[in-house]
Amino acid sequence: MRVRVLGTAAGGGLPQWNCGCQSCCRAAELGVQLSQDCLAISGDGNSWYLVNASPDLRTQLLATPELRPPPGTRRTPVEGVLLTSAELDHTLGLLTLREAARLPIYATAAVHQALRQAFPITEVIGSYTAVQPQTVSDRQVLTAGLAAEIAVVGDKRPRYAGELRGTGWVVAYRFTGAGRSLVYAPCLPAWSDAFEQIIDGADVVLLDGTFFTEDELTHASGSDRPASSMGHLPIRAALPEIARHPRTRFLFTHLNNTNPLAHPDAPELADLRAAGAEIAAERQLLVLE
Amino acid sequence: MRVRVLGTAAGGGLPQWNCGCQSCCRAAELGVQLSQDCLAISGDGNSWYLVNASPDLRTQLLATPELRPPPGTRRTPVEGVLLTSAELDHTLGLLTLREAARLPIYATAAVHQALRQAFPITEVIGSYTAVQPQTVSDRQVLTAGLAAEIAVVGDKRPRYAGELRGTGWVVAYRFTGAGRSLVYAPCLPAWSDAFEQIIDGADVVLLDGTFFTEDELTHASGSDRPASSMGHLPIRAALPEIARHPRTRFLFTHLNNTNPLAHPDAPELADLRAAGAEIAAERQLLVLE
């Protein structure tokens, strides 16, 4: 199993285009750019699935040689997309893929409903290519020895889909191939039983690192919205849980522009290192063999 | 008047993510990246308007220091967006702007209709910020001494909006400020009277350079679609028209991935130079004072 981290930031990326906070200004000065969270995963290194389709997908694909079509062809190695939610920062990149010959999209019934009714992305893409919506079941067989299981970890609907009902709005995926396993959970509101179960014995877990602390937005921008109200377990609250899984490698992703850990010289990284956890890096390759 | 070229490629950019044609492979090898066409324009260098909102808008804004908010603020210098069409490669970037405090969008009635009905982008953005739709009239007063006029240059509807009626689907803008003028026409199906009239006496014209020749796609990809059937006047057909306007500076933009002129060592550039025209460059600054 090979996994390429395509992007590691929360919605808006770092810097965020309209934000002059200290972290965004510093990133702009240093030329640091974190793109919005997205993953590519493959069982054999040839056929790849995207997990989420970020608005930055075009540049993320171009920065990843293994996702380019062979010269003289339009045979993209991208087999399909699995979605962890219907949030715009996880789905807008689907529109970039409209030139594909066909586009399988794996998601829960609730997420498909949002993309069909509240914001008809799949219908629009259907004017350009053959969209193949698949409702993810408990165990999804993909190509090249890869399989995926889901755990529902949250029920926060995207703001644009506030009228819709249903459950299964936010999921984590556990991918397995040749006896190894990786969990991807870029949005995790709480360390629930369902999450504990899906990460059990996993080799690698990439998880929600949106905020370092519960009150981070208050300090950064005067907002009164704590992390938990926005559907994100802060890193500091996740660290004690991680300590209970010493055989699993944990990497945080989906970092908000206010998160101090987005900068490699942050003193707060010492807490992370002490817990044996890491921050996922843009374009990082994970090889699980 | 200051004008920053944010992107110079047609839909898909160069390289295109799923295309292994000679031009895309060469661009990938050399690290050349052309982003999708978009412009920023200002009367005073402080308040800026975007013309079109490309899917690449996030990285385009980040690459343009004058469009960043001042440190410690969220006061974006972006005052609003003017659209030349409802095509996805001109409108998807609107979704990137949803974090703005407010978002004025200037477009024809037909384009607003597509963004409200066929693909409700403006409604979705309305869940995040205050969208202020403005129907562009013959003469639109903007801020800081800037004004805009439009000419309808085409009636090709986006594929996703094929069911909609109306006229005014593709327009060119003429911007004026302090006695200088610039025309932006990234899609131009023909050198019409309306176009001739709006460029009359203009200092600078940025125009449709999608294809160099009428049968370019046939050679590059075996497609049987000539440039004219896709709503684009090929550069070679525009050059004799340009020769009749020796006092105006012409720059081609919106280059397709198959266009040889996207590469700076193309022999075909000699024809362009002979006609006194240029290819617009990514991030190019035009100062009209």
A275 touches chain B (CB under 8 A): no
Cα–Cα distance for residue pair B146/A175, rounded to 1 Å: 54
* Mean pLDDT value of segment A21-29: 93
Q: Which residue type is seen at A215?
A: D
CATH top class, domain A2-287? alpha beta
Residue B288 contacts residue B177 (beta carbons within 8 Å): yes
B54 touches chain A (CB under 8 A): no
B16 touches chain A (CB under 8 A): yes
Q: pLDDT per residue over B239-260, tens digit each?
A: 999 999 999 999 999 999 999 9
Cα–Cα distance for residue pair A95/B93, rounded to 1 Å: 11
Residue B137 has a pLDDT of 77
pLDDT band at residue A188 under the 50/70/90 scheme: very high
Low-confidence winner among A196-210, B136-150, B175-189, B215-229 (lowest mean pLDDT): B215-229
Q: Which residue type is seen at A249?
A: R
Residue B132 C-alpha, separation from nearest chain A C-alpha, in angstroms:
17
Residue A44 pLDDT exceeds 90? yes
| Among candidates A25, A68, A74 on the partner chain, residue whose Cβ is nearest the Cβ of B28 | A68
CA distances to A17, A56, B58, B70 from B67, in Å:
8, 19, 11, 9
Residue A192 contacts residue A228 (beta carbons within 8 Å): no
Written as one string, the DSSP assignment of A67-82 is GSPPTT----SEEEEE
B108 touches chain A (CB under 8 A): no
Choose, out of B58, B59, B89, B95, the residue to mutate when testing the contact with A (most A CBs < 10 Å). B58
Q: Which residue type is seen at B218?
A: T
Q: pLDDT per residue over B151-204, tens digit each?
A: 999 999 999 999 999 999 999 999 999 999 999 999 999 999 999 999 999 999
- Sequence spans of domains, chain A: 2-287
Residue B177 has a pLDDT of 96
In A, residues 117-176, which contact B (CB 8 Å cutoff)? 118-120, 123-124, 127-128, 159-160, 162
* Mean pLDDT value of segment A99-124: 97
Chain A residues near residue B28 by CB distance under 8 angstroms: 62, 65, 68
Low-confidence winner among A222-226, B88-92, B215-219 (lowest mean pLDDT): A222-226
Q: pLDDT per residue over A122-166, tens digit each?
A: 999 999 999 999 999 778 889 989 999 999 999 999 999 999 999
Question: What is the fold of B2-282?
Answer: Metallo-beta-lactamase; Chain A (3.60.15)
B63 touches chain A (CB under 8 A): no
Spatial neighbors of A95 by CB under 8 A, at least 6 apart, are A121, A124, A125, B55, B88, B92
Low-confidence winner among A211-225, B7-21, B91-105, B125-139 (lowest mean pLDDT): A211-225
Residue A220 pLDDT exceeds 70? no
Residue A224 pLDDT exceeds 80? no
Angle CA(A134)–CA(A282)–CA(A124) in degrees, nearest 5?
Answer: 35
Cα–Cα distance for residue pair A143/A8, rounded to 1 Å: 25
Residue B222 has a pLDDT of 67
Cα–Cα distance for residue pair B231/A55, rounded to 1 Å: 27
